[in-house]
Amino acid sequence: MRGTGEIILCGLFSGACVALTMTPGPDMLLIASRSVSQGRSAGFASLAGILVGTYCHAMAAAFGLARLFLSVPIAYDVVRFAGATYLLYLAWKTLGASPTPTAPSGCEARFPVRKIFRQGRLTNLLNPKMALFVLALFPQFVRPQDGAVAFQILTLATVLNFIGLIVNGVVILSASRLSQRWAGRRRHSRTPQYLLASAFAGLAARLAFASRH
């Protein structure tokens, strides 16, 4: 009976993760826009940063830090506006950069992967809704009697990240193909920059005007 219950709980949690990752949201928009404008490497770098950010949110939930958003409402707003400001900064920097070189056929343009990774991680960390999601969902599948709660939460985060890797990996591979449509055009084009800057600005507006619910 216990084994059956654990299987059911695992299935429920996996189903919730699939529903979350397949629903278009800020992370998917950022990953897709990066992949279209800068290729697969940039898309996977953003995804890697987001996955690391998810682990950070999970650890915060494990140690009760995420509850700060519930007990101190101003903390939620501070993080929310900090995230929106950071995204607007990225949009401004993207527009101010030199025209993006279009990748030659069969190749990808070179971009600072580490920088893209850090941006993806920070964007995820500055999204308080992600912290609240982890805090709301994960405790429902934690069994204190089965051992260390922190380890169980990290295990749940690993399941969520694994499913996110599969779903968003498909998004990256599909979206990156669109970037090749610019390959036959001018060597230097600002279209990818406008696309990415618009994504950053849209995410900033969504975060700034989002409610806590």
Q: What is the pLDDT of residues 119-175, one digit of tens each?
A: 899 888 888 778 878 877 887 788 777 778 788 889 999 999 999 999 999 999 998
Q: What is the structure's pLDDT at 99? A: 55
Q: Do residues 34 and 42 touch, judged by C-beta distance below 8 A?
A: yes
Q: What percent of the chain has pLDDT over 90?
A: 19
Residue 66 in any domain: the answer is: yes
Q: How confident is the model at residue 104 (pLDDT cuts 50, 70, 90)?
A: very low
Residue 13 in any domain: the answer is: no
In the predicted model, what is the mean pLDDT of residues 68-93? 76
Q: Do residues 27 and 168 touch, judged by C-beta distance below 8 A?
A: yes
Residue 77 in any domain: the answer is: yes
Residue 19 in any domain: the answer is: no
Residue 109 in any domain: the answer is: yes
Check pLDDT > 60 for residue 196. yes
Check pLDDT > 90 for residue 60. no
Q: What is the pLDDT of residues 17-30, one digit of tens each?
A: 888 888 777 788 88
**Nearest residue to 100 via CA among 190, 29, 203, 174:** 190
CA dist., res. 110 & res. 38, Å (int): 8
Residue 42 in any domain: the answer is: yes
Angstrom CA distances, 123 to 46, 85, 170, 178, stand at 9, 11, 21, 24
Query: How many separate domains does the chain show?
Result: 1
Q: What is the structure's pLDDT at 3? A: 60
Q: What is the DSSP letter of 190?
A: S
Q: What is the structure's pLDDT at 51? A: 96
Q: What is the DSSP letter of 30?
A: H
Q: What is the structure's pLDDT at 1? A: 42
Check pLDDT > 80 for residue 16. yes
Q: What percent of the chain has pLDDT over 70?
A: 76
H helices, E strands: number in the chain: 9, 2
Mean pLDDT for the chain? 78
Q: Do residues 171 and 91 touch, judged by C-beta distance below 8 A?
A: no
Specify the pTM: 0.74
Q: How confident is the model at residue 54 (pLDDT cuts 50, 70, 90)?
A: very high
Q: What is the structure's pLDDT at 66? A: 61
Q: How confident is the model at residue 190 (pLDDT cuts 50, 70, 90)?
A: low
Angstrom CA distances, 155 to 124, 150, 151, 210, stand at 19, 9, 6, 29
Residue 135 in any domain: the answer is: yes
Instruction: Sort 5 into a burial class: Cβ within 10 Å, 0-12 / 13-18 / 19+.
Output: exposed
Q: Which domain holds residue 108?
A: 25-208
Bigger pLDDT: 127 vs 54: 54
Residue 7 in any domain: the answer is: no
